[in-house]
Amino acid sequence: MKSSEGSILVIDDEREITELITLFLEREDFTVYTSDNGTDALRIAESLVPDLIVLDVNLGRMDGIEVCRDLRKGACADVPILFLSCKSEDRDIIRGLSEGGDDYITKPFSPSQLVARIQAHIRRRRTRERTSTEEQVVSLNFPGLEIDFRGLEVRMEGEPIALSAKEFELLSVLARQPNRVFPLEELYRRVWQSDSMGDTRTLMVHISNLRKKLEIDPARPRWVQTVRGFGYRFCPANNCEEQSTLSN
């Protein structure tokens, strides 16, 4: 008998959706738990602490954004959350990811695409957990900024900065190779462990959220900078300026 690939909590008030997701996930040997409301979902999540949570934005009395906010306060603070919704407007995506979501997929969706996205998140989380205690570089120190890989903490001028798991991973990838410009595709692949770019807005929203926490002026970033038309880079020097194009 195969062992479970992990546990997934699916929170959606549409029975057809939860049954479809459950069917496809169980085919890949995941253990699936379901809930059709926020109150029960929070109780289940706190008790089981699943490997990943699929969360519908449009629940009943307690919407998915509120559920996500409460999940991040408890035992599921670091559990990947993938939002699922019929909403596709930028403001809805930004709101969901800003409240602690790791990824976003809109209805109607391909079940196989959803499963692939879930597998990528779980693979990435397990890789991070497995290597965190083996990491040769314990920390990186820049003027005013310290990244502690062992403690998974970031400090600005000695004060801790609360980053989400994805924000920490993005900063870690960029800061390990200062001044190197990462194309969007490569940065997405490294952090989300997926060969598909999916929705580029997911990456850009996380970068925006990261800047809001690190930068004095997010509109003129000093640490995480854009090379327009190409990607992002981490700049450790005070005299770095954003570039509009790559230099030959």
Q: Which domains does the chain have, with CATH numbers?
A: 6-129 (3.40.50.2300), 135-234 (1.10.10.10)
**DSSP symbol at 243:** B
Does residue 179 register a pLDDT over 50? yes
- pLDDT given at position 233: 92
Global pTM reads 0.68
Which tens digit of pLDDT belongs to each residue from 235-247? 986 545 544 333 3
Of the candidates 116, 153, 140, 155, the residue with the CA atom closest to the CA atom of residue 30 = 116
| Residue 198, CB-side half-sphere exposure with 13 Å CA sphere | 30
C-alpha to C-alpha distance for 212 and 231, rounded to whole angstroms = 18
Does residue 8 register a pLDDT over 90? yes
- Look over the chain and give the mean of its residue pLDDT values, rounded to a whole number: 85
Which residue do the tokens 């900024």 mark? 145
Does residue 192 register a pLDDT over 90? no
Q: What percent of the chain has pLDDT over 70?
A: 87
- pLDDT given at position 136: 58
Let me know: does 28 contact 115? Beta carbons within 8 Å. Answer: yes
- pLDDT given at position 248: 27
Which residue do the tokens 């991040």 mark? 72
Of the candidates 224, 104, 238, 229, the residue with the CA atom closest to the CA atom of residue 173 = 224
Which tens digit of pLDDT belongs to each residue from 87-135? 777 777 788 898 899 999 988 899 999 999 999 888 887 776 655 544 5
Residues in the chain: 248
